[in-house]
Structure 1
């Protein structure tokens, strides 16, 4: 396995060695979410360069380093996970104050998004020490990139990342209901043992589209776009679909779904204000495009 990435390590040195890597800095390193070849050249160089690596799981990170042919002793790996992050951050800070370079890597993907790392970064920043991001693999952006949302007439640009919803059915249902009128894409993460419960909860959104990313970048990767109401049936079609990690992109609510609340707001404003002023305030309140609200306001005035 080491020889497989020998040329990559050489390329990493050629491409990244001449860049600036200040001492006393925390390097937040994105690692692959499945396919080892998704590591960046700069990440390979920095993982080899740093004096220590803080990791969500030292055993996992050690195996990853060995796969790339990077040699780090056990004493250079520091356990920093969700259960000890606040306390372990002080150990990292002490090393940084000594002028050491320290990397942080979660088990997969970009740290501090859904994985641990945010508390560590906050503590380092509060200590007025440098934090350097090394971007790379992310299940969130990977799923969004294949969801094909641009042509759906979304009412708002961007997306909402909610991560893992509550494991409690009532709280999960309430969270999904709050997303019913969301005009942006919504990214949800889920584990295999809870994916059926999530699919059942999302089915209440009817024809709303969802893109399902299962085992992204891995050998048995599967990507599909179905209606929310058919999500449970899609899972049931193949027992293998209950395996692996999931990223679910809930597509934006369509304009007609959102018309009720927006019409109510616009009507209230039109009753008290001139048309243009009412449209401007309605756009600020609802986030709807001003042109669409203007056309709606004209229609309401005619009625």
Structure 2
């Protein structure tokens, strides 16, 4: 990794409203909660924070509403050194939120897209220069699919490496997949995209994605690590790391950002995955998605140990 990497993240910004309670309410019932937390989130913003913490020059393209949450999210990203010039404020719209009830070790989540649903192709065109300067363009699926497709097309026109984290899970058109250099699903997302059932071998499911036009598939496997397969036939399984898990929120986002950082720094696919597994391992040892993202110094210390 010889050069300072540049990453553009195109995606969502949410405020996560987390309520802790002894148990979730039944329909029509009111229960008393124990605590409430307002935590900056959204897959796009989480990945941008993780990228910036690792030292990448990071720019974000997205949207917030004209409310206090939007102001707070922009401030939080700015504090991380992220370029937020391309995060527009949408008048008469609220910022995206995730309403999360935590109880009995599980959660219930309702996501309202808000301004995230207003990220358009025009925004991509307006800030094309941000993408032109990047090594890697990192995408997810919490903004309109048409915008994701357009962004991937524009990135390829500019000769950029496109990394897609296909979450939340949904079927995707080949038009998009053919523009993806690296697809990073988890196991359930992979099987949905490949349109095969869970009895099919993992490698066969990844091969199905290569046939759809993806250049490289990296499938995250939780505690088992990550498997990969490339169009050139390179394949492998990179083990995860044993750590004391505190909070798995944002684990996938940290992996995607760590992988993109390493790839933008010139690492090969296997090396980038090995680096990303270390980033994700550190991320789950702390509470909160963005708060738990490690710095490069922390990752290097972890590697040394």
Q: Relative to total residues, which structure has the larger strand share, 1 or 2?
A: 2
TM-score normalised by the chain length of structure 1: 0.30
User: Which of the pair has more CA radius of gyration?
Assistant: 1
